Amino acid sequence: MKRLGIAVAISILATVLQLPVPVQAVEPSPAPTPASTTMTESQKAAALQAAAANPLAALISVPFQFNANYDVGPYHQFGYTLNVQPVVPVPIGDKMTMIFRTVVPIAYVPELNKSPLIGNVVGLGSINPQLYFISSKAGSLTIGPGVTFLLPTSTNPLVGPNKWAAGPDIAVVATTSTTLMGFIANNLWSFAGSPSHLNINNFFIQPFYVKNFAHGVGLTIQSQTTANWNAPGNQKWTVPVFLGISQLQKAGRQPLSVSGGIGYNAVRPSGTASWFARFQITLLYPTAKPQ
């Protein structure tokens, strides 16, 4: 199973690398600067790809992110997570925009012990809404403070805690004509929920760097670092390093971004996956108007 998973991940990444150049890319809505009507199709594709990678862009998008995790648990098995992450910008008057992002995880957790009562688990995890507030006239540096929540939607304790949690979050994005860099950070504290589940005090930070090339191609380096402040000693931190490549495409008239890559958890608690592969398809709606 492990060898099969590695082969699938390599095949997916190879497919992404060989995708054809898109035709008639759609010009994005402001993110935050409108694209020029005199832009070439290649420049429009690059602009839309840059907007797709920007967590604070004024762009409706629906990412479907599949993560394959290797070497999970004491038996070094294979686990999966599908994150559906719709992003909707909502104008608030003429001067402010609220970026509404929701992470809906669906996870497969392999058998963690040989008990006949606990086998493989598939279920819905804890849904995580995130709100960021930005200036509608932001320039090359955009700062979006906000708030994030965790909802008790988990169908099994192994795929997420049944706790209500909330905390502050912030996104900072700096852009140039060819690069995008910044970070997303938050901390969640539980305040209600099942007393049988452990309390939550979790930190998250996602620094990222994106280099955009012609024809809607992008190279991404990022880390989705987490810290469980309630965990003992050296079990607190998970620090992954991820390298990925993306390509703007069209399915009929629907623009989308296809990406894939490989990551390694350089620091991790016991039982956490060592390597992971990621494949993502993001549906883009650059001309859609938020309601």
Per-residue pLDDT of the chain (291 residues; tens, 9 = 90+): 445 454 545 454 444 444 333 333 333 334 444 444 456 776 677 778 788 888 888 889 999 999 999 877 776 778 889 999 999 999 998 889 999 999 999 998 876 655 554 567 889 999 999 999 998 777 789 999 999 999 999 998 888 888 999 999 999 999 998 899 999 999 999 999 888 888 999 999 999 999 998 888 899 999 999 999 999 988 999 999 999 999 998 888 899 999 999 999 999 998 888 999 999 999 999 864 444
* Widest distance between CA atoms in the chain: 65
Q: By the 8 A CB rule, do 254 and 270 touch? A: no
Report the alpha-carbon distance of residue 173 to residue 246 in Å, rounded. 19
Report the alpha-carbon distance of residue 174 to residue 153 in Å, rounded. 34
**Tokens linked to 258:** 């296809």
Neighbour count for residue 215 (Cβ, 10 Å)? 16
User: Nearest CA to 210 among 264, 259, 255?
Assistant: 259
**Tokens linked to 131:** 């709100």
Q: By the 8 A CB rule, do 158 and 112 touch? A: yes
Report the alpha-carbon distance of residue 262 to residue 69 in Å, rounded. 10
